């Protein structure tokens, strides 16, 4: 597979004033609708569409044509694409949630409780299929090591946690306990560079979204 380069000519549109609202136990957010990103000095999330080309190395082409809304985000540069490539902790891999490349999303929760976290991602190999999720600056064990093994080379919803015993992940272990109604900061941090992230859904029931998933609801 050839080497592709993306060249961003302008800063991505950051929805600083938008708050995404949970309704009836479901919260939906497009990955590119983050309002901030932090700890991005080593790796950074970039919005990918059908047209943009970029100066940072990436091992695969844009998958925006099949992404929800025609855009997604990818953590770049991608220097570890196969198991043979060197793993450099705190550079192209981070097993510590919240350590690097954090995306922030402002959300309104109306019905507190336990929410399973579903993410729509595009994985082409074994070294681009992990991410962490947290909330309000906290990174619980239940949000660490969200993992994909099935559904390669296509956008795939998953909510499984990689464990020492089961590397491909265990069902129903990825969730956030949201104890209070109100505005919260949902956060995702890099585990592996090259991760392609299209959308996330929080649900009270453990039910995998279909297709591109439900539509966002913006708080009025």
Instruction: Sketch the domain layout of the chain as residue ranges.
Output: 4-203
- Whether the predicted pLDDT of 3 surpasses 70: no
User: What is the distance between the alpha carbons of residues 216 and 200, in angstroms, rounded to a whole number?
Assistant: 10
Paired residues of 165 in beta bridges: none
Residue (of 178, 161, 164) closest to 119 by Cα position = 161
Q: Give the 3-state secondary structure of residue 189.
A: strand
Q: Does the N-terminal peptide bond of residue 21 adopt cis geometry, omega within 30 degrees of 0?
A: no
- Whether the predicted pLDDT of 6 surpasses 60: no
What mean pLDDT is predicted for residues 31-55?
88
Whether residue 45 contacts residue 73, with contact meaning beta carbons closer than 8 Å, is answered with: yes
Look up the CATH architecture of domain 4-203: Sandwich (2.60)
CA pseudo-torsion sign 170, 66, 209, 27: positive
Residue 137, burial from CB neighbour count under 10 angstroms (0-12, 13-18, 19+): exposed
**Virtual CA dihedral for 100, 72, 16, 118, nearest 10 degrees?**
-70
- Whether the predicted pLDDT of 22 surpasses 50: yes
């Amino acid at each position: 597979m050839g080497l592709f380069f993306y060249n961003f000519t302008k800063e991505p549109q950051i929805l600083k004033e938008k708050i995404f609202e949970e309704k009836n136990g479901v919260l939906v957010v497009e990955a590119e609708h983050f309002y901030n990103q932090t700890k991005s000095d080593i790796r950074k999330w970039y919005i990918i569409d059908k047209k943009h080309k970029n100066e940072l190395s990436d091992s695969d082409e844009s998958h925006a044509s099949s992404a929800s809304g025609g855009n997604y985000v990818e953590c770049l540069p991608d220097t570890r694409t196969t198991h043979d490539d060197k793993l450099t902790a705190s550079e192209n891999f981070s097993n510590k949630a919240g350590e690097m490349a954090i995306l922030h999303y402002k959300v309104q929760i109306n019905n507190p409780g336990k929410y399973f976290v579903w993410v729509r991602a595009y994985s082409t190999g074994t070294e681009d299929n992990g991410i962490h999720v947290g909330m309000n600056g906290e990174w619980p064990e239940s949000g660490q090591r969200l993992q994909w093994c099935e559904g390669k080379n296509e956008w795939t919803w998953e909510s499984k946690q990689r464990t020492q015993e089961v590397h491909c992940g265990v069902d129903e272990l990825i969730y956030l306990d949201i104890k209070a109604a109100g505005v919260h900061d949902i956060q995702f941090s890099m585990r592996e560079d090259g991760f392609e992230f299209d959308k996330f859904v929080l649900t009270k029931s453990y039910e995998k979204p279909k297709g591109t998933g439900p539509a966002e609801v913006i708080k009025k």
